[in-house]
Homo-oligomer: A and B are copies of this chain.
Amino acid sequence: MAVNLTIPAQSDIHAVQGVQIGIASAGIRKAGNKDLTVFTFVPNTSIAGVFTTNRFKAAPVQVCEAHLATESDVRALVINTGNANAGTGEPGLADANQTCNELAKLLHLRPAQILPFSTGVILEPLPMPKLLAALPAAVSDLQDNNWFNAAHSIMTTDTQPKLHSQQLNLANKTITITGISKGAGMIRPNMATMLGFLATDVGIAPELLQDMTREIANKSFNRITIDGDTSTNDSFIIAATGQSGLHIDSVASPHYTPVFNALREAAIDLAQKIVRDGEGATKFMTITVEAARSSEEARKVAYSIAHSPLVKTAFYASDPNLGRILAAIGYAGVHDLDVNLIRLWLGDVLVAIDGGRNPDYLEADGKRVMEQSEILVRVSLGRGEHTETVYTCDFSHDYVSINADYRS
């Protein structure tokens, strides 16, 4: 039961010239599941990625980083769900490499031209015979506009597919940006059991694309949190095929800003969709912390609020128990915070001021905001110029049910 998550009609999903997608059933976790997805890109596509900071980095993440570091002509992605190939040690690495080797043979590429991705249960060996047996079917299925099916085939505990597609006109050319993502537990910055794949037919110089990908991740996929758990497998990829004929070589390019903004908008939409479909979510919350001394300080306070189980259960209950938000601000680890300077708004309602409750605050006003499905929590720390925003959801009975039952 996702929160205001819109699924575009299949007819509104624009293919990205230079990208093909094929899907197959490997039956990794359940027989018959469409759980294997292959992307291919035309030559001269730029590919950039950002990955989890978890020290138990999954095997496919390690292989992705190695391939991106050494290979300038990445040409395919292979994604399985049902098993994360994480916490699997050396055998797991061998499995991720073998997956690339076998797909390379089918696509007539070098193994390093392939990036592998896995999502699902941790600490269990990848069932390689099933996965390898399904690769030819995925390759046979490669086609130009398969995004809608791919959004389904990368789902794990997601209840809805997550897609974004837009076109804009630049320099008399129609350019396309299309992407998909998946959540839905173990979500927090840097990054999550979260996969995001975004492609455009704009051409973007490889190093520039890497900078853009990092910057965009820091305003989108790295600013969402469901349960504070940073997964072992999180990956976000942007591919730029250049097939539209529009090319960007530097930030000085006249088309840099509109392309950057459109990619960022797409990434924020795909990231927010992960939160909207957060495990058990019934509400979508935007937490904005303003007037902080640094971005880091603003983030600390925003995440402290966004991770508090007490805050999240109060939102679930539509209970304006706002003292829990003040408590979360207070323990965020900003040691010289002057609580008398803090202001707290819930939507448009000023709740706290001068270290306590706003004398004009009426509980009915708080309750009115808390009953909405989209809630803005705004905090001013009153001590600087920096602002950060994170997106999160509430904490419901269903979160516990989903996570207590995940493997059964």
Contacts and interface: CB of A to CB of B under 8 A. Distances in A.
Interface stretch (A68-76, A254-262, A385-393, A396-404): A396-404
Nearest to A404: B317
B56 A87 contact: no
A327 interface: yes
Interface in A295-345: 307-310, 313-314, 316-317, 319, 321-324, 326-332, 334-335, 337, 339-340
A167 interface: no
* Interface size, A (range): 35 or more
A394 B257 CA distance: 48
Contacts of A125: 357
Contacts of A403: 309-310, 313-314, 317
A355 B90 contact: yes
A407 to B, nearest CB: 6
User: What is the interface of chain A mostly: helix, strand, loop, or mixed?
Assistant: loop
Contacts of A230: 327, 330-331
A354 interface: yes
B355 A229 contact: no
A229 B328 contact: yes
A229 B310 contact: yes
B313 A122 contact: no
Interface centre among A91, A309, A316, A396 (most CB of B within 10 A): A309
A121 interface: yes
A391 to B, nearest CB: 17
Contacts of A404: 313-314, 316-317, 319
Interface string A104-140: 0000000000000000011111000000000000000
B229 A327 contact: yes
Contacts of A309: 227-229, 309, 395, 399, 403
Contacts of A357: 87-89, 123-125
A327 B399 contact: no
